[in-house]
A and B are shown apart, each in its own frame.
Chain A
Amino acid sequence: MKDSGSYQPYSYFQLMEVSLRELLVEKGVLTEEQIAATVEDIRSRTPERGARVVARAWVDSDFRARLIANGTRACEELGLDVPALRLVVVENTPAVHNMVVCTLCSCYPRMLLGIPPDWYKSRNYRSRAVREPRAVLSEFGLDLSQEIKIRVHDSTADMRYLVLPMRPAGTAGWSEERLAAIVTRDCMIGVATPKAS
């Protein structure tokens, strides 16, 4: 785009956002400070949070059991507050692979993974993940054998899902920090698996 320094009109959604925000402030519903703090809070949520949870579960089997029994409460142990979010942690095993989708919109464990990637919200992923999960996973570079059962979780209501991937071979003795570094966002959505190298 040519940068002429001239005024660029807002897009439709930008204009809507500014109008709504200014109205809320003008009417005393919210303050500028509260809005700025919330935006900052949303920005601070990244998949590193989820990776910490996974790494802890890999090194501490008691924690893993608590995490699967009650995801929300186990996250609180790590100082991760997941308000208004009932976290269901689903564990990959050699026999079962889990993947998460929200076919209706884009429900996502934002407190642990941040803002969802665009593909997660795309019609393509949302419609195909439930219907042909193996083809979708293959497009992500994950070719699962027919022997492995796939369990797709359609996040349709009040629960949020996090996939607990399998700890890869070759990571014996690794620190929690080092383990967390190989747990990517996609591993926790279930469209990838962690690699030791």
Chain B
Amino acid sequence: MVEARYKPGDRVKVRKAYPLGHIRTPFYIRGHAGVVERLCGAFGNPEELAQQRSGEPKQPLYRVRFLQREVWPDYRGNPEDVVEIEIFQHWLE
């Protein structure tokens, strides 16, 4: 299991990368910064599992909170509206 590098409240940025394969990091959030809401635990790496490999070592999975107005420049709503997304540690920097 990979050790968790972040804790709730930490500001993190999602890697802006476009590798091929089974990626659980949505395109729309790549390159955006948010705040760790909680550590969900450690889970098999889906990119490896999709290739029928073991998924080990398990990767820490976080729920990261992003401000909608930072994700969508034309967002209309409350300036504190958020979207929360589960992101694996190896996608954060």
What residues of B have a CB within 8 angstroms of the CB of A193 in the complex? Answer: none
* Contact across chains for B85 and A156 when beta carbons are under 8 A apart: yes
Q: Does A133 contact B (CB under 8 A)?
A: yes
How long is the Cα–Cα vector from A71 to B1 in the complex, in angstroms? 24
* Contact across chains for B78 and A154 when beta carbons are under 8 A apart: no
Q: Does A130 contact B (CB under 8 A)?
A: yes
What residues of B have a CB within 8 angstroms of the CB of A130 in the complex? Answer: 28, 71, 83
**Which one of A3-11, A42-50, A141-149, A180-188 is at the interface?**
A141-149
Q: Kindly identify which residue among B41, B78, B85, B86 contacts A146, using a CB–CB cutoff of 8 Å.
A: B78
* Contact across chains for A150 and B77 when beta carbons are under 8 A apart: yes
* Contact across chains for B63 and A159 when beta carbons are under 8 A apart: yes
The A130-180 residues at the B interface (CB cut-off 8 A) are: 130-134, 146-159
Q: Does A104 contact B (CB under 8 A)?
A: yes
The B9-24 residues at the A interface (CB cut-off 8 A) are: 24
* Contact across chains for A147 and B78 when beta carbons are under 8 A apart: yes
How long is the Cα–Cα vector from A152 to B72 in the complex, in angstroms? 14
Q: Kindly identify which residue among B40, B41, B71, B84 contacts A153, using a CB–CB cutoff of 8 Å.
A: B84
- Minimum CB–CB distance for B64 against chain A, Å: 10
- Number of chain A residues close to chain B: CB under 8 A: 23
- Minimum CB–CB distance for B45 against chain A, Å: 10
What residues of A have a CB within 8 angstroms of the CB of B75 in the complex? Answer: 131-132
- Minimum CB–CB distance for B4 against chain A, Å: 15
* Contact across chains for B86 and A158 when beta carbons are under 8 A apart: yes
Binary contact readout B58-87 vs A (1 if CB under 8 angstroms, 0 otherwise)? 000101000010011001111011111111
* Contact across chains for A150 and B86 when beta carbons are under 8 A apart: no
What residues of A have a CB within 8 angstroms of the CB of B28 in the complex? Answer: 103, 130-131
Q: Does B6 contact A (CB under 8 A)?
A: no
What residues of A have a CB within 8 angstroms of the CB of B26 in the complex? Answer: 103-104, 154, 156
In the A-B complex, list the 8 residue pairs whose CB atoms are closest, starting with the nearest: A157-B86, A152-B83, A154-B85, A158-B43, A150-B81, A156-B86, A149-B80, A157-B24
- Measuring CB to CB, which residues of chain B are less than 8 angstroms from any residue of chain A? 24-26, 28, 40-41, 43, 46, 61, 63, 68, 71-72, 75-78, 80-88
